[in-house]
Amino acid sequence: MMKMNKTFHYAALFGLVSLLSACGGDDGKPGNPGEPGGPPAMVIDTLVVSFDPVQMQSGVATVNYRVTNQDDEPVVGIPSATFIAAQLLPQGYTNAGNASQWQYFTSESCNDSCPGEYVDHKNGRYSYTFSAGFDGLNDVGYQAGATQRIVVKLGGDSLADGTSLPITNQHFDWQGDKDGASSDPVYTRNLIKIETCNSCHSDLAFHRGNYNQIETCVTCHNADRVSNPDNIFPQMIHGKHLTGFPGSLANCQTCHAEDETLSEQMNWARVPTMEACGACHTFIDFKKGEGHPAQLNNANCVACHNPDWTASVHNDGGNAQALAQFKPVITKAMRSGDTVSFTLTLENPATGQPYTASADQLDFVSDLRVYANWGTSFDYATRSARSIRVHETAPISGSNGSFDYQIAGLTVPAGSEMDKGTLAIQGRVCAANGVLGACGDEANSEVVIKSSHRFFAAEALSDSGRRVVVSNDTCGSCHGDQQLNFHGSRNDLEGQCQLCHNPNMQAEAADNPSLTTADFKHLIHGIHSGQRAGFEGINYPGNIGNCAQCHADRDDVLSVALPLDPGVKPLAIDDGSYTSPTAAICSDCHSSETNKNHMIQQGAVFSGTLSDATAGTESCSTCHRQGADADVLRVHPIK
């Protein structure tokens, strides 16, 4: 063992022993007898830490652990690390009604030196003994029966041979007396997974990227570590999401997602507190009795706000159950001339049976419409899809739950007769407490159904049609599963919006016309990057360069890849000019004059004639195609 005596700010000990110079960090010396480590890791994409029981001696903790790569090969010679120690007081310990609370003990770091004792066994195994007992550190008393946590932060540096180490935070929960080996804890506090956060935020990391796990954040963002109560983790996270949140703030399970591996997944409903609830309900001062009867503490919260009640007012109010009783499905379609004929079946998924009456005869159907446009290979013939209000229209024919309708007036350009079209459904039904009911009953409210689309050809429905660029799943990773409604009840972002928001929309003759058009691809880029007028305050939660956050795969390749699909048309501008396709797309984000000049040098056309914009002079794919030196998929931070 060696003793190192320099304490670093905000860190925990891990370890630098002697830096090793051979490949993978092997210095050629044998490991400890009985502890063969195997060949050291040569490629390290991921660091994995596995813990042995914590050993306590006179209140001082020694943690033993093994570090491996993604292939379970030992990683030897890690030059720096941080340890954080914390304790969890159980629910109700500090006062009746209070949630469980983390208490910060200390952090110790190893870089050029360590405050405690460190051993590198040189086979992927390490030991670290803290510099002092936890009892009394940070004025916190050590409770032998409480859950203890040690967090290890590794990476962000390199081994002696230059092998880079990715940053990782990993934790170990335990309990134990001041002497002896630790045992499994009897309780914990695991409410949210970082994977849920990263569905919007990509790789969420703080403090110069060193800390990227919720289990790490809570060890420091607690009342025993931070001076500002607003920086205690629950209050801090709730407060930061009050503005710019892309989904419904009332739906707690957007973040507190159902997950049986989280033992406290329902704490948001089960343990209401002034601190957590007040972080969202900011108009309430509980102790002054403003906006709520006066409450001096959390002891009586659950008397009124029991779990069932709390859950019922913080979810969709039974809407999901109601929607599970109604699903409109297009089962047949064909085009003749400018008219598409289709069959609509209204199904009850809960019973597996169709409704025998047509939509205009069902009193719980508030609105049901079908839209149609033609030309999936060239992004549609008109800027406004033709439609029919099914809830106000008697079917042409049909029975037994399947009814026939027609939409006339489609534009079918000459030569496109063998192309395909798209039918899209949208609507609203009336319900209360998860049960469909008459729209004339004031007890019922309108619920938006999930929109859908189907492709059709001249003779039948088709499984293929317009290319998929974004999916409802990718959009839903932030906005919820088809929870983002436009124009009342349109939420099929994958295939419905494009029926109208297509290249027939014209941009304004502005400095950057692509940021003014309502063509879907340009509209979405402009909104999410905060460049479109009226959306300057957008605070995109992830890395705006990570195209995979929104774009879907097509034929196992991300749809952002060059070359563009032939269906992508030039950007039409209201002065009669056009911008060539790739330049128009790329300048949505890369809008500087330098970028524009680069594109022009490579054959791009900005605000030129239609002939020039479609002449095929763009040579962007020479450098930015798949596999090229500046492949779009390589130069963007895609994850």
Q: Per residue in 47-65, pLDDT tens?
A: 999 999 999 999 999 999 9
Residue 316 — pLDDT band, cuts 50, 70, 90?
Answer: confident
Domain match, 308 and 340 both: no
- What pLDDT, on the 0 to 100 scale, is given for residue 263? 87
- What pLDDT, on the 0 to 100 scale, is given for residue 165? 97
- What pLDDT, on the 0 to 100 scale, is given for residue 37? 64
HSE, side-chain direction, 13 A CA sphere, residue 494: 22
In the predicted structure, residue 590 carries a pLDDT above the cut 60: yes
- 254 within some domain: yes
Asked whether the beta carbons of 126 and 14 are under 8 A apart, the reply is: yes
In the predicted structure, residue 16 carries a pLDDT above the cut 50: no
- What pLDDT, on the 0 to 100 scale, is given for residue 28? 38
- What pLDDT, on the 0 to 100 scale, is given for residue 160? 94
Asked whether the beta carbons of 4 and 110 are under 8 A apart, the reply is: yes
Closest CA to 464 of 376, 379, 568, 338: 376
- How many domains in the chain? 4
144: domain CATH number is: 2.60.40
In which domain, by residue range, is 586 found? 513-635
- 483 within some domain: no
Domain match, 230 and 337 both: no
Domain match, 335 and 462 both: yes
- 209 within some domain: no
Domain match, 335 and 304 both: no
Residue 36 — pLDDT band, cuts 50, 70, 90?
Answer: low
Domain match, 156 and 226 both: no
Domain match, 330 and 307 both: no
- H or E element that contains 2: strand 2-3
- What pLDDT, on the 0 to 100 scale, is given for residue 312? 84
In the predicted structure, residue 202 carries a pLDDT above the cut 90: no
In the predicted structure, residue 366 carries a pLDDT above the cut 70: yes
In the predicted structure, residue 26 carries a pLDDT above the cut 70: no
- 618 within some domain: yes
Report the distance separating Cα 21 and Cα 76, nearest Å. Answer: 11
E strands in 290-413? 327-336, 339-348, 353-354, 365-374, 386-389, 397-399, 402-407
Specify the amino acid at residue 309: W
In the predicted structure, residue 128 carries a pLDDT above the cut 90: yes
Domain match, 73 and 142 both: yes
- What pLDDT, on the 0 to 100 scale, is given for residue 586? 96
Report the distance separating Cα 219 and Cα 305, nearest Å. Answer: 28
**Is it true that the peptide bond before 563 is cis, omega within 30 degrees of 0?**
yes
In the predicted structure, residue 537 carries a pLDDT above the cut 80: yes
Which residues are CB-contacts of 63 (< 8 A; sequence separation ≥ 6)?
Answer: 51, 52, 54, 55, 83, 127, 128, 150, 152, 172
In the predicted structure, residue 173 carries a pLDDT above the cut 70: yes
How do 421-432 and 435-436 pair as beta strands?
A: antiparallel
Report the distance separating Cα 318 and Cα 245, nearest Å. Answer: 22
- 481 within some domain: no
Report the distance separating Cα 365 and Cα 428, nearest Å. Answer: 6
- What pLDDT, on the 0 to 100 scale, is given for residue 382? 97
Domain match, 269 and 325 both: no
Domain match, 459 and 334 both: yes
- 205 within some domain: no
Over range 465-471, report the average pLDDT.
Answer: 97
Convert the pLDDT of each residue in 203-260 to its tens digit: 899 999 999 999 999 999 999 999 999 999 999 999 999 988 998 888 899 999 989 9
How many CB atoms within 10 Å of residue 151?
A: 24
Residue 38 — pLDDT band, cuts 50, 70, 90?
Answer: confident
Asked whether the beta carbons of 128 and 66 are under 8 A apart, the reply is: no
Domain match, 301 and 343 both: no
In the predicted structure, residue 73 carries a pLDDT above the cut 60: yes
- What pLDDT, on the 0 to 100 scale, is given for residue 458? 96
Domain boundary among 293, 315, 337: 315
Domain match, 443 and 581 both: no
Report residue 134 as tokens: 């936890």
Residue 320 phi, psi dihedral angles, 5° rounding: -60, -40
Q: What is the mean pLDDT of the chain?
A: 92
Report residue 242 as tokens: 């009050």
Report the distance separating Cα 254 and Cα 240, nearest Å. Answer: 15
406: domain CATH number is: 2.60.40.1940
Over range 121-127, report the average pLDDT.
Answer: 94
Domain boundary among 279, 300, 315: 315
In the predicted structure, residue 464 carries a pLDDT above the cut 60: yes
Domain boundary among 171, 186, 201: 186
Report the distance separating Cα 198 and Cα 214, nearest Å. Answer: 11
- 195 within some domain: no
- What pLDDT, on the 0 to 100 scale, is given for residue 400? 85
- 206 within some domain: no
Q: Is 197 helix (H, G, I), strand (E, B) or coil?
A: helix
Domain match, 303 and 340 both: no
- What pLDDT, on the 0 to 100 scale, is given for residue 467? 96
